[in-house]
Every structure is written in structure tokens, then in C-alpha cells.
Amino acid sequence: MAGKFELKKSKNGKFHFNLLAANGQIILTSEMYEAKASAVNGIESVKKNGGTAARYEKLSAKDGSPYFTLKATNGQVIGQSQMYSSESARDHGIESCVTNAPGASVDDQSAA
């Protein structure tokens, strides 16, 4: 199974998406969007930019936990990872995004 995007509507009526790896683990989460069309554009941006390793920024949280963000060509963050237990685990997460993002299908769960 290839990776996929899950597009969802939150309780407050906003839209967001997750990129899931082939094993079903969430590897990237979007911001909240006011409109579904904006979230769909976000998915397209992740597909376009996600296959380029240079678009990922490796960061550390205040507690030292490694994580990463994915930026569009304009420098805007379009997705963020979970917190990882180690830098190598974070780097594997980036590799998974690079592999899965460009060809991931979209599972629209926003109407459910």
C-alpha cells in the first residue's frame, strides 16, 4: 500500500489533512484551513514539494524532541511532523515523506 492523505473536517468546522505512510502511521500534519478548497491546495503543495529533501527543515522542540517541517517554495510551512524520539527516527520520517508524498492518494473523509 502506498501512502495517502486523509482530509478531515474538525469539530470547529475547519479542514486539515494528514499524510500517512504505507503502514498507516501519520508522518505529516497540516495546519487548520477555513475552507476545504484551501486544504486541497495544501495537499497539492505537499505533493509538489514533498518529494524534495531540501524542502524539509530539521528542528528540535523546547524539550529537545526532534521534528521537521515541510516548506513550500515561498518558505511557508505546509506541514509538520510528530515529535520523534531520536534524530535518526526523524530523518526516517523525512525519507518516508519524500517517498510517499508525491504519489499519495487522497481519502476525503471531510463529509463523514
What pLDDT, on a 0 to 100 scale, did the predictor assign at position 5? 98
What pLDDT, on a 0 to 100 scale, did the predictor assign at position 84? 97
What pLDDT, on a 0 to 100 scale, did the predictor assign at position 91? 97
How many domains is the chain built from? 1
Q: Domain residues for 73?
A: 4-108
What pLDDT, on a 0 to 100 scale, did the predictor assign at position 111? 82
Mean pLDDT in each 10-residue stretch from start to end of the chain (112 residues)?
90 96 94 96 96 97 97 94 96 96 96 72
DSSP character string of 53-104:
GGGEEEEE-TTS-EEEEEE-TTS-EEEE----SSHHHHHHHHHHHHHHTTT-
